[in-house]
C-alpha cells in the first residue's frame, strides 16, 4: 500500500505553467499528432469487453485498497468491490458512492470508490499511453489517468517521477490538467498545463481521448489528438533532474475530496461514475526492447 502517491494540491498553483487553452476564442485548433505515428506498435491494452458486471482483468489490474487519504487527504475508501469497479457495456466503470464503509483496517469513510493500477503487471518506459474516458462532474470529484515510476517503493515520491495524463476537478467541467512531477518540481511546483474545451463544453458530456507521447527528452500531452503541452528537461528548475527514464505503471482512479478539489457539498450528486472505454500503450518500433517489460 502506498503511503504517498501524490496528485494533490500540487497543481493548485500554475505559475510554472505554459497554459494552453484550445478553442478559447471560439476557434478550433487543428490536431497536432506525432510525426512518427506510423511507427507506434501496440504492446498492451485493455478494451474492457468482459462479461457484464465482471471484475477488471486481474492479469492486468490490481486494486489499491484503503481509506487513509493517499497523502492528499482524500475522503473515500477505495475498495475492490463490484459496486465500485466493474465492467459494463464495454467500459470499465469506476463508481463513487456516498455510503458509510469500514475496511479491514477499521478505517471508516462516508464515501467509497476504486483505484486501479498495473504495478507489477505492466510497466513501460517511453511510448504512447492513451485512454478514452468519460469523466463525471460535481464538486469534490477528482478523476484521473496517470503514471507513476515503477521504482516508487524503492525511491519514494517524487524521486520515482509522476506523469498525470489527465486530472479533472469536478467543479471545472470544461478543464483538464496535465502535469509532471519529480524531485524539486513536485506538489504545487509541478510542470503543468491546462486544456479547456471550446464553447463551454463539458468533458462529462462525452468520451474524450487523453494521451501522452513520451520520449527520452520530451513528454507531449494531447486531448482528442490536439497537442497542448510539451515538457522537456530544459524546462526543469535549475539543479533538478529529469527522472522520466525508467518504466512507469498506469493508475486509473476516481478520488473524492482531497487538498485540491475540496470535499463534496450539497450540490454533489451520487453515485457518480468514470467510464473507461479502453487503455492502450504503444511503443516506437525504433526503440530498443529494453524500454518496456
User: Up-side HSE of residue 291: CA atoms within 13 Å toward CB?
Assistant: 18
Cis peptide before 291 (omega within 30 of 0): no
Q: Give the C-alpha distances (Å, rounded to integers) separating 121 from 14, 69, 280.
A: 34, 24, 14
* Beta-sheet pairing, 248-256 with 141-149: antiparallel
Q: What angle do CA 287, 127, 130 make, to 5 degrees?
A: 160
Q: Cite the active site residues.
A: 162, 167
- DSSP letter for each residue of 174-219: TEEEEEEEBTTB-GGGSEEEEEE-GGG--GGGS-EEEEEEEETTEE
Rounded to the nearest 10°, the torsion over CA 39, 40, 41, 45 is -170
Amino acid at each position: 500500500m502506498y503511503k504517498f502517491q501524490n496528485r494533490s494540491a500540487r497543481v493548485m498553483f500554475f505559475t510554472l505553467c505554459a497554459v494552453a487553452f484550445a478553442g478559447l476564442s471560439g476557434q478550433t485548433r487543428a490536431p497536432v499528432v506525432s510525426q512518427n505515428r506510423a511507427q507506434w506498435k501496440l504492446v498492451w491494452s485493455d478494451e474492457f469487453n468482459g462479461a457484464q458486471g465482471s471484475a477488471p482483468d486481474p492479469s492486468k489490474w490490481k486494486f489499491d485498497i484503503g481509506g487513509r487519504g493517499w497523502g492528499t487527504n482524500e475522503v473515500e475508501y477505495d475498495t475492490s468491490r463490484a459496486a465500485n469497479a466493474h465492467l459494463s457495456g464495454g467500459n470499465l466503470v469506476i463508481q463513487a458512492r456516498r455510503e458509510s464503509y469500514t475496511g479491514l483496517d477499521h478505517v471508516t469513510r462516508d464515501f467509497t470508490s476504486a483505484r486501479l493500477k498495473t504495478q507489477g503487471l505492466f510497466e513501460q518506459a517511453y511510448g504512447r499511453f492513451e485512454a478514452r474516458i468519460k469523466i463525471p462532474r460535481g464538486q469534490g470529484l477528482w478523476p484521473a489517468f496517470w503514471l507513476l515510476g515503477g521504482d516508487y517503493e524503492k525511491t519514494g515520491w517524487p524521486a520515482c517521477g509522476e506523469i498525470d495524463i489527465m486530472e479533472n476537478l469536478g467543479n471545472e467541467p470544461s478543464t483538464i490538467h496535465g502535469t509532471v512531477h519529480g524531485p524539486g518540481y513536485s506538489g504545487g511546483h509541478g510542470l503543468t498545463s491546462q486544456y479547456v474545451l471550446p464553447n463551454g463544453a463539458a468533458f462529462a458530456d462525452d468520451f474524450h481521448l487523453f494521451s501522452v507521447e513520451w520520449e527520452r527528452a520530451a513528454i507531449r500531452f494531447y486531448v482528442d489528438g490536439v497537442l497542448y503541452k510539451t515538457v522537456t528537461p530544459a524546462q526543469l528548475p535549475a539543479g533538478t533532474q529529469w527522472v522520466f527514464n525508467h518504466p512507469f505503471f498506469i493508475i486509473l482512479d476516481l478520488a473524492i475530496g482531497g487538498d485540491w478539489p475540496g470535499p463534496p457539498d450539497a450540490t454533489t450528486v451520487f453515485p457518480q461514475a468514470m467510464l473507461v472505454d479502453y487503455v492502450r500503450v504503444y511503443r516506437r518500433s525504433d526503440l530498443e526492447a529494453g524500454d518496456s517489460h
